[in-house]
Amino acid sequence: MSLTALGAGIAALGCIGAGVGIGIATAKATDAVARQPEAEGKIRTTLILGAALAEATAIYSLVTAILIIFVLGK
């Protein structure tokens, strides 16, 4: 069981990466809107699309971790 938990923990590291990526993207988008307020609509659209793609990788990591626990843990 200990190696299964270790594998699930390693798989869940993708969630941390997605969180850091979304945080950096949000910081850059905020900076961009502060510099060019007239481009806010385009920046927001691009930010939401990027955040959704980054969040998808976090969900894949979570599903992988859950599969490792419940399928390989038996």
**What is the DSSP secondary-structure string of 11-51?**
HTHHHHHHHHHHHHHHHHHHHHHHH-GGGHHHHHHHHHHHH
pLDDT at 1: 60
Q: What is the pLDDT of residue 15?
A: 86
Backbone phi and psi for residue 61, each to the nearest 5 degrees, phi listed first? -65, -40
pLDDT tens track for 1-55: 678 888 888 888 888 888 898 999 999 999 999 999 999 999 999 999 999 998 8
Instruction: With beta carbons less than 8 A apart as the criterion, state whether 44 and 29 touch.
Output: yes
Domain boundaries in the chain?
2-72
Enter the pTM of the model: 0.73
Distance CA 16, CA 18 (A): 5
Query: What CATH number does the domain located at 2-72 have?
Result: 1.20.20.10
Structure tokens at 47: 């930010």
Nearest-angstrom CA–CA distance, 43 and 30: 9
Q: Does residue 74 or residue 29 have the better pLDDT?
A: 29
Query: What's residue 31's pLDDT?
Result: 96
